[in-house]
Chain A
Amino acid sequence: MMKPIEPLGTLSILLLLVPIAIVCSLSVALKLGQVRRVSIATARSVVQLLAVGLIIGWVFDRQTWWWVAGLLLVMLLVAGFTASGQAGKHAKGLLWIMTLVLGGSTALGLIYFTQVVVGIHEADPRYWIPLGGMMLGNAMTAATLSVERIASDLSRSRGDVETMLVLGASPWQATQPIVRQAIGAALTPTINAMMIVGIVKLPGMMSGQLLGGTEPFQAAMYQLMILIAILFCDTLAATGAAILIYRRFFTRAWQLKRG
């Protein structure tokens, strides 16, 4: 084991404001109009990370299933709300669809990768919370992309879909190509990331482990596992969301809804 990570104290945290001040000065000098956005983003990051640092620290001290499961559940609800908010204008009932899909895909991923692959049989939040968070966050992006793609393709290819309906196709038969493309599009960011991993950039988890003092080969192996876990959860979430959502764009009489 290498020596432990240098702690960031109050002075170090205050010094983080210097680069932010430079970014804002640049924005003012070049009239980029980003000061407001940068300020809000910085403030949110500070509050959210302070809170999460404290909460996770608290849960880490407890080491009980209840607190691990409770924290994961809160993360799931926030992800469900966020995903349905982002894609929510497209169909009703998206909140429960998204929560169900994200919960299901993350649960399956967590169970397989923690129980079978790593073999964590205790409530150690060090594994459950970061792995669950990464799977959940990526699954959320994939499910949102998938739903948004279906909505935009259905509105763009209205004529193609109606041609199929007219020929006697069910909504599922009429939207199959669109659903497939949407799932493919939702997986693209993850697949692209897998293509360049280690060559163009070091992913967050590996960087974090390296900073934390993990031996580089093990950090790389953990990164490999998390990439595969993310691909797995993304695929389940994108597919689940697509299958549960497409029918909501049609009426019971196989009519494509308007707008």
Chain B
Amino acid sequence: MRGVDRAVGQDGNAKRLLTGIDLTIARNTITHIVGPSGSGKSSLLRLINRLDEPTSGTIEVLGKPSRDWPVRELRRRVAMVLQEPSLLDRTVEENLRLPGVLHGLDNGDPRAAVEQVGLSADMLKRAADQLSVGQKQRVALARAIITKPDVLLLDEPTSALDPRTAEELLDQLIAIRQQRELTIIMVTHRLEEARRLGGQMVVMIDGTLAASGEAAALLDDPPNGVVRQFLIGGDDETD
């Protein structure tokens, strides 16, 4: 991202969500986007698969300006799990077959996909609306990776989960990355998750990129006052 701004609303009462973002994320890494609520974490994430448009600046995804990708192809290569992903009111298997149907692809094995996120294959016949929150989150994750994306965007994937379930989900992410190359960019409000998963960290404060670097290094030695206050001052609620 080069000089990326994003504002919403009309000229008179436009609200700036992101200002002057310059950011490079390497392939096959994990990047945690952290920051106080309303700091622009989710807004930043939503630009990567073009769910939103920047007001100015350029975004390059997988070596090509995001505007040059056919939208459907971009969203297959850059998968995303929203903060509150909704599942179709059908079986788990039908949910997992949905991306293939939408993309006109035949690939993707629902059985392998549920097992990859730590659910048993007999889950496939269950109705999606009967699952627990944790199970739903895993099915959403399985559905996102079934078309074999290069990049996975996660918006607070553990915010609705209890600590144990959250930990299990993170373990699954680690396991998925061990099996294949995958760039993960996740918004999180639990700083300990960044420490646990390692990788890179981006600190957003008030719509600007306040700091970025190795997660562990940033957490141990925050570079400046505002970032220090946020990182050491503790976790924040969702935004």
Say yes or no: is A253 at the interface (Cβ < 8 Å to chain B).
Answer: yes
Q: A162-B51, A166-B49, A166-B79 are in contact. Are A253 and B71 (CB under 8 A)?
A: yes
- Check if A163 sits within 8 Å of B82, measured CB to CB: yes
User: Shortest Cβ distance from A89 into chain B, in angstroms?
Assistant: 14
Say yes or no: is B193 at the interface (Cβ < 8 Å to chain A).
Answer: no
| Interface-side segment among B18-26, B98-106, B206-214 | B98-106
Interface residues on B, range: 20 to 34
- Check if B52 sits within 8 Å of A255, measured CB to CB: yes
Q: How many angstroms between the C-alpha atoms of A160 and B51 in the bound complex?
A: 13
User: Shortest Cβ distance from A175 into chain B, in angstroms?
Assistant: 13
Say yes or no: is A168 at the interface (Cβ < 8 Å to chain B).
Answer: yes
User: Shortest Cβ distance from A190 into chain B, in angstroms?
Assistant: 28
Say yes or no: is B129 at the interface (Cβ < 8 Å to chain A).
Answer: no
Q: Across the two chains, which residue of chain A brings its CB closest to B83? A: A159
User: Shortest Cβ distance from A159 into chain B, in angstroms?
Assistant: 5
- Check if B53 sits within 8 Å of A170, measured CB to CB: no
Q: How many angstroms between the C-alpha atoms of A162 and B81 in the bound complex?
A: 10
Question: How many of chain A's residues have a CB under 8 angstroms from any CB in B?
Answer: 17
Within 8 A of A (CB), among B11-52: 49-52
Q: How many angstroms between the C-alpha atoms of A18 and B187 in the bound complex?
A: 69
Q: How many angstroms between the C-alpha atoms of A164 and B49 in the bound complex?
A: 13
Complex partner residue of A168 from B67, B86, B102, CB under 8 angstroms? B102
A residues in contact with B72, CB < 8 Å:
168, 170, 254
Complex partner residue of A254 from B71, B76, B86, B99, CB under 8 angstroms? B71
- Check if B51 sits within 8 Å of A165, measured CB to CB: yes
Within 8 A of A (CB), among B68-109: 71-72, 75-76, 79-82, 84-86, 98-99, 102-103
Q: How many angstroms between the C-alpha atoms of A254 and B49 in the bound complex?
A: 11
- Check if B76 sits within 8 Å of A168, measured CB to CB: yes
Q: Across the two chains, which residue of chain A brings its CB closest to B78? A: A166
Q: A166-B75, A167-B75, A173-B102 are in contact. Are A255 and B51 (CB under 8 A)?
A: yes
Q: How many angstroms between the C-alpha atoms of A165 and B50 in the bound complex?
A: 10
- Check if A168 sits within 8 Å of B99, measured CB to CB: yes
Say yes or no: is B143 at the interface (Cβ < 8 Å to chain A).
Answer: yes
- Check if A159 sits within 8 Å of B84, measured CB to CB: yes
Say yes or no: is A12 at the interface (Cβ < 8 Å to chain B).
Answer: no
Say yes or no: is B8 at the interface (Cβ < 8 Å to chain A).
Answer: yes
Binding site for A on B (CB under 8 A): 8, 49-53, 67, 71-72, 75-76, 79-82, 84-86, 98-99, 102-103, 143-144, 147
Please, could you name 11 A-B residue pairs with CB atoms under 8 Å apart, sorted by A?
A159-B86, A163-B86, A164-B102, A165-B51, A166-B75, A167-B75, A168-B102, A253-B50, A253-B67, A254-B71, A254-B72
